[in-house]
Amino acid sequence: MKKHTHSNGTTLLENHKLRITPIRQQVLGLFMGKPHALSHSDIEQTLVGDFDRVTIYRTLTSFVEKGLVHKIPAENGVVRYALCKDSCSEEQHHHSHVHFNCGTCGQTFCLENISVPTITLPQGYSFTDMNYLTTGTCKNCNKQ
């Protein structure tokens, strides 16, 4: 049994000062329905109905700008996006969490419960964000 996420998504868009449009609702729905990060082409292939490639790019850009999702670059250069857990806004993103990229299924997950260990930067360096990307085999793929 699947819960209707429509109203949640709409509220989420409103909270982040984004106009409610069909493509935004549908893209946000995809993110809410999947446990892993999505690439532009994932989204392009999954969307129902005819939406322009450019519009998908702009949708993702607006989501990032308003703090709804964050970008995750993979080892091979593929850029994926995942929902920000909470309390991200246009002003402040703080999604310094651990990402895990499975070499078998290729999917990327946010390990929300694991906090990123901090490091001490060398003298002179200042810090704004950090990204901890691990590669290996995920729970599901290890079962088989």
Partner DNA sequence: GGTCTATTTGCAACAATGTTGCAAATAATT
Partner DNA sequence: AATTATTTGCAACATTGTTGCAAATAGACC
Q: Which stretch binds its own copies (CB under 8 A): 8-16, 18-26, 47-55, 121-129?
A: 121-129
71-80 burial, b at 16+ Cβ within 10 Å, e below that, comes to bbebeeebeb
9-37 burial, b at 16+ Cβ within 10 Å, e below that, comes to beebbeebebeeeebbebbbbebeeeebb
Q: How many CB atoms lie within 10 A of CB 61?
A: 12
Q: Which stretch binds its own copies (CB under 8 A): 5-13, 21-29, 46-54, 129-137?
A: 129-137
Interface with DNA (CB under 7 A): 18-24, 39-41, 50-55, 57-59, 61-62, 77-79
Residue number with CB closer to DNA (56 or 116) = 56
What does the binding site for its own copies look like in residue numbers (CB under 8 A)?
71, 73-79, 98, 100, 103, 111, 113-114, 116-139, 142-143
